[in-house]
Amino acid sequence: MLISSDSQVYDGVACIKVPDVRKAVEEVKSLLYDNRSAEGRDEVGGYTIIADDAKIGDSTFIGRHVVIDSGVIIGSGCVIGDGVKIYAGTHIGDRVHVKANTVIGGDGFGYYFDQGYHKIKHVGSIMIEDDVHIGSNCCIDRGTINDTIIKKGAKLDNLIHIAHNVVIEEGVAIAAQSGISGSSVIGAYAQLGGQVGVVGHIKIAPGSRIQAQSGVASSITELQEKWYGYPAIKYWDYLRSFSLFRKLPSIEKRLKNLEERIKSNSNS
């Protein structure tokens, strides 16, 4: 932690000036509470099932009631929370955190119709790169043929669904209850607010910021733009449109008055 040389006392309270308060607070918390972290502990919790051919790196913590299926590879320094299910062929990099009850590598929602619905076999896998964090109760589906990929440093909140063949690029952050439909690509360092929905087979440009409860129905090609609404449009265009929308009842009333006046004048 960097401490400013001009630390002073204000009203009897010693103050330490730092360049970044949030970072400094986290450093202090890591010193005080580091013993509570599962990170860096080689441990496997009770009632956990690990396939004989699964590979798990050093200093990886595995919680209770976890299932790690055949052919799974997990890197070093990972934390796999209680109740997590990781199905066959999933590859997870180093320092990945997965919180409780998340399911990684289940079949996606894929059917074809021929006098009824028939299941599409999913033979792809999941590739999760280093330093990814995944919240509780997320579902990340394996690919149909190609892999579902979550790249380095991505952060996923709780209750998120990532469908088959989706690619989450480096540094993406997605808030809770969002859903990404199959074969879409979320560009590097994009940010998706809570309850955002993304349709399938589209691309979202790097650095995009999608506001909460928006629906992205077509590809976004402009870099570093903010988007809002359903279907999502540029953030400031949405706010201007919404401002007008709120005035529609009064505008309608004024139009009716004008129509009545015009009609009255024409009859006189």
Give the CA angle between residues 145, 148, 153 to the nearest 5°: 160
Task: Check: CB of residue 156 under 8 Å from CB of residue 134.
Answer: yes
The answer to whether 118 is a known catalytic residue is no
Please give the DSSP secondary-structure letter assigned to residue 258.
H
DSSP string, 177-234: T-EE-TT-EE-TT-EE-TT-EE-SS-EE-TT-EEPTT-EE-S-B-STT-EEETTTTEE
Which of 97, 122, 161, 164 is labelled catalytic?
Answer: 164
Q: How far apart are CA 187 and CA 219, in angstroms?
A: 11
Residues 6+ apart with CB under 8 A from 87: 69, 72, 103, 104, 105, 106, 142
**Sheet hosting strand 215-216, strand order edge to edge:** 49-50, 67-68, 85-86, 103-106, 139-141, 161-162, 179-180, 197-198, 215-216
What does R_g of the chain's alpha carbons equal in angstroms? 25
Question: What is the set of active-site residues?
Answer: 164
